[in-house]
Structure 1
Amino acid sequence: MEQQQSLFKNKSYMFLLSSQIVSNFGTWLNILAVSTLVAIEWNASPIEVSFVLLALALPMVFFGPIAGVFADRIERRKMMILADILSGTVVIGLVFASFTWQVYIILFLQGLFSTLFTPAKNGKLKEIVSEEHMQQAMAISSMVNSISKIAGPALGGVLVATISVQGVFYIDAASYFISALLLLGVPKTVHLVKEKEENETKENFVAQLKGGLSFIKSKSILLIGLVSSFLVFFVLQIGDTQFGVLIRQLPEMETEVLGLIMSGAGAGMFISSMLLSKISIKKLEQSLGLGAAILGLSFIGEAVMVIYFSISSVLILAPIFAFAAGSSFAFVLIPFQTAAQKETPVNYSGRVFGTINSIFTLATIGGTISGGILVTLIGINKVFVMSGGTLFAVGLSIALYAMLKNVVHVKVENEKQKINEV
């Protein structure tokens, strides 16, 4: 409890957290409003609707590492404030959009500014939060994300019904401007990449662009964590984005079941995040392995549930499996993000997290596209069982690797002890 109080007494962290809370709620309001505008009011095709999230995600894939370099070279608070102001400005453009191509351009720009914001925020977190509080800070950030994903769309639905889609866009824009004001309470960046002289050559910039991935490769714990997390993210998206297709096989109450799954997953993520804010994960590989394995079993359970169980049983089992999935995913995401923060020097954090975010987004896009293709080719039930089995296999492999690593370590230590005794 004392540790928790000391983190919440950190005024700089509280301003950064408050900014995240306002911004996250605004983002989910925006996603709901854009989806309503394109899918319902404009009656766009499924492909046109899919391009909405693609437009938001693509900038992170292509510009994430570049944004990370800027986050280590430019004053981070200034970079975050500028990104918020630009995001709020372009969101207002959605009010006047009349065609889907205009929405795509605006969302691409919004995604680009978000890409600039994220590595700067992660770098700032490294500056203002001590290592002993880092896992707690990452867990709290995950809790905020979970609450936003649950409450944001729900609030957005009410606002769209009462004040219109365009009114929600204005609220989202205001949330970015409020976030920028809150960031004024965060201190300026102290640690930046030091330029050798007045002339910064192109070669130096390119070297720094590669610096994030080079640093990750030099740290085995980060490399293993990144590869493992990439596999989990990729396979997770294959099934996760197709839940609607799985559930529509039910004879009735499809919407209610889908709502229970979304709520259950969000609740599981929130509870695990709360737990991880109070306990410390000592062994990253074991947490990754266990989380991935349980996540896989949850996916298989959802598929079996839909195929073989009655609707009354589904109403009970759906949120239970979803809760297990959300809870186990937290044990993959949060420990890895914590390890990345702890292992990365403050002047490298922008580049490292720019690279990590880019790779995670690539996994998300690749998994989403693969899920659609696989469902078309082999059917939804097989896809869920296959993705669940793959996640379980990945988790089991990570856990076995951790056990073998521990056995080798103990053996080496024993050999050293024997040599010392001689």
Structure 2
Amino acid sequence: MSTEAMKGAGGSLFRNKFYQTILLSNVLLQIGIWVRNFAILMYVTDKTNEDPFAISLMGFVEFLPIFVFSFIGGTFADRWKPRLTMIWCDFLSAASVFIVLITLIYGSWHMVYLATFVSAILSQFSQPSAMKLFKQHIPAEQLQSAMAMFQSLIAIFMVLGPSLGVISYQKFGIEISIGVMGVAFLLSALVLFRIPRDREAEKAEAAVERRFWQELKDGFAYVWRSPVLKSLGGTFALAGTAVGIAQTLGLFIVLERLGQPKEFLQFMLMVNGIAMLIGGGAVMAIAKKVAPQKLLALGIFLSSVCMVGVGLSTSIPLTLALQFISGLGFPLIQIGISTMILQWSEESYVGRVNGVLSPMFMGMMVIMTLVAGQLKLVFPLVGIYCTAGVIMFIGMLLLIPLFKHKPIAAQAQQQLAGGD
């Protein structure tokens, strides 16, 4: 994509009221999420004296509800008004955080797990609704560019977020940190009122009596009929297995392989985030030239190689370099996945497709986040990381047959041209 085209696409997107609002909402959510992730991780690590099971349990309570509720969350996203769904989810997340804060002050420290658990549940109703709104409010030719810019915002918080969470915990303690989470979620809900009201068609569809379980079954059948979506599900499962292991045991790479204090983890993620920001910009430049399935395959390949390297490395500069390379590939994965789901799904099925595919990733991640702590007690850390990298590489191989496939819109255009 030329520089002029990039500027034109970006300018057009930033004039879009929906896109402006969703970006601002995401800024607030990212603040809450990163304070939650690192403040609670540091808190649990201190409370349990670096217990592997307690640390892996943090990942488990975050990803278990994602696996369980993603199926039904995607289906409800296709039934409910997506704008109101997102607003209510953020309001309820804020309310749950403030309840946890009150309980934490007067009760048990274990309540910090509940804050993560509840917000993870609600995200499974909000996220597919956001995908549905993207499909409605962003022109098809701008979807990949929109996802690239959206990913760049997330990358910025990969740089700033870890330090934000650590500083919040070290300077103000866990109570203030949890309060920041609640305020961020509340402000996000208020910002979302700027999104254009749900379409009249959404209201008409919501008024039609349809059985929930039939819609859920239709979502699975829709994915099963699509060779692209079906293969994507297999890649999701393998990637979830690898990421679940690596993400959970990242703290032990810092402590054991690099011999650094736990706070050093924030610097590893900052390097990763800087690379994500660069990678997101690169994807914007090639968004119109490279198919999303090829972007995804390249991103997974980079992650698999770097995962093995991080496990083997005892050098801080080498590990940081591998984190940087892995970060370059992460936007390719995220943008590739989101664009593939949007391009190979009809609008009425976007929520359900997301709800069917996400558990393929999250289900395996849930299992591995709980198992990883136990694996660590039995197997060497290097062996675990190398195995995770090989699993990720196999997931990449599943994508190669998809390179020849074209999105639904392109297929329809070809059919029309053939009919003429």
TM-score (norm 1): 0.84
1:160 to 2:169 alignment: yes
Aligned to 1:328: 329
- Which AA in structure 2 matches 1:123? K
> Residues of 1 paired with 2:376 and 2:75: CA distance?
39
User: Are 1:148 and 2:162 counterparts?
Assistant: no
- In structure 2, the partner of 1:57 is 63
Q: Which deviates more from structure 2 when the two are superposed, residues 243-252 or residues 345-354?
A: 243-252
User: Are 1:92 and 2:98 counterparts?
Assistant: yes
Report the equivalent of 1:296: 304
Amino acid at match of 1:114: S
Distance 1:258 1:38, change over 3 A: closer
Shift of 1:347: 2.1
Q: Residue 156 and residue 239 in structure 1: after superposition, are their counterparts in 2 closer, same or farther (change >3 A)?
A: closer
Paired residues of 2:77 and 2:352 also in contact (CA < 8 A): yes
TM-superposed deviation, 1:106: 4.1
Can you list the C-alpha shifts for 1:219-239, whole angstroms capped at 9, x where unaligned?
A: 222222232233123223323
Q: Distance in 2 between matches of 1:277 and 1:346?
A: 24
Whether the aligned pair in 1 keeps the contact of 2:307 and 2:386 (CA below 8 Å) is yes
Matches within 5 A, 1:20-99: 20-41=26-47, 45-96=51-102, 97=104, 98-99=107-108
Tell me which of 270, 277, 281 is aligned to 1:274.
Answer: 281
CA separation in 2, counterparts of 1:389 and 1:45?
Answer: 27
* Residue 152 of structure 1: how far off its partner (Å): 2.2
Shift of 1:163: 3.1
Residue 261 of structure 1 corresponds to which residue in structure 2? 268
Structure 1 partner of 2:318: 317
1:209–1:170 CA distance, 2 compared to 1 (3 A)? same
Say whether 1:342 aligns with 2:343.
Answer: yes
Aligned partner letter, 1:272: G
Aligned to 1:309: none
Q: 1:230 to 1:78 in 2, by over 3 A?
A: same
- What is the distance in 2 between the residues matched to 1:273 and 1:186? 25
Deviates most, 95-104 or 379-388: 95-104
Residue by residue over 1:4-40, the C-alpha shift from the partner in whole angstroms, topping out at 9 and shown as x without a partner, is: 1111111111111111111111111122233344332
Cα deviation 1:283-321 (Å, max 9, x = unaligned): 344333332222222222223332xxxxxxx23222211
Q: Say if 1:75 and 1:188, in contact at 8 Å, map to a contact too.
A: no
- CA gap of 1:49–1:87, structure 2 versus 1, over 3 A, is same
Q: In the alignment, is the contact (CA less than 8 A) between 2:235 and 2:398 conserved in 1? A: no
* Higher-Rg member (1/2): 1
More deviation in 359-368 or 90-99?
359-368
User: Percent same amino acid at aligned positions?
Assistant: 23
- Seen in structure 2, the aligned counterparts of structure 1 residues 212 and 144 have a Cα distance that, compared at 3 Å, is farther
SS state at 1:347 partner: helix
5 Å-filtered alignment, 1:163-312, equals: 163-190=172-199, 191-192=201-202, 200=209, 204-250=211-257, 252-253=259-260, 258-280=265-287, 282-306=290-314
Q: Which residue of 1 aligns with 2:3?
A: none
Structure 1 counterpart of 2:384, one-letter code = V
Shift of residue 210, structure 1, vs aligned partner: 2.3
**Structure 1 residues 251 and 34: CA distance shift in structure 2, 3 A:** closer
The 1:143/1:71 distance shift into structure 2, 3 A limit, reads same
Deviates more, 1:83-92 or 1:168-177: 168-177
8 Å Cα contact 2:158-2:269 kept in structure 1: no
**Change over 3 Å in CA distance of 1:164–1:290 after alignment to 2:** closer
Match of 1:382 in 2: 383
Q: Answer with 185-194 or 125-134: which moved more.
A: 185-194
Contact 2:81–2:203 (Cα < 8 Å) also in 1: no
Query: 1:297 and 1:34, CA in 2 relative to 1: closer, same or farther beyond 3 A?
Result: closer
Gaps of 5+ in 1: 307-313, 407-422
Mean CA deviation greater in 254-263 or 55-64: 254-263
Q: Would you say the 8 A contact 2:278–2:328 is kept in 1? A: yes
Whether 2:20 is the aligned partner of 1:14: answer yes
Q: d(CA) in 2 for partners of 1:253 and 1:245? A: 10
Structure 2 gap ranges (5+):
1-6, 406-420
Matching residue's letter, 1:118: Q
Please tell me whether the aligned partners of residues 263 and 319 of structure 1 are also in contact (alpha carbons under 8 angstroms): no
Once the two structures are TM-superposed, the CA of residue 176 in structure 1 deviates from its matched residue by 1.2
Q: What is aligned with 1:419?
A: none
Aligned 8 A contact 2:129 2:351 in 1: yes
CA distance in 2 between partners of 1:387 and 1:329 (Å): 16
Mapped pair 1:103 → 2:112: yes
* Aligned pairs, number: 394
Question: One-letter code of the match for 1:266?
Answer: G
**Structure-1 separation of matches of 2:58 and 2:213:** 31
Contact 2:234/2:398 (<8 A) preserved: no
Question: How large is the Cα RMSD of the aligned pairs?
Answer: 2.7
Q: Per the alignment, do residues 143 and 392 of structure 1 end up closer, same or farther by CA in structure 2, a change over 3 Å counting? A: same
Seen in structure 2, the aligned counterparts of structure 1 residues 206 and 217 have a Cα distance that, compared at 3 Å, is: same
* Contact 1:229 1:333 (C-alpha < 8 Å) held by counterparts: no
Offset of residue 257 of structure 1: 6.3
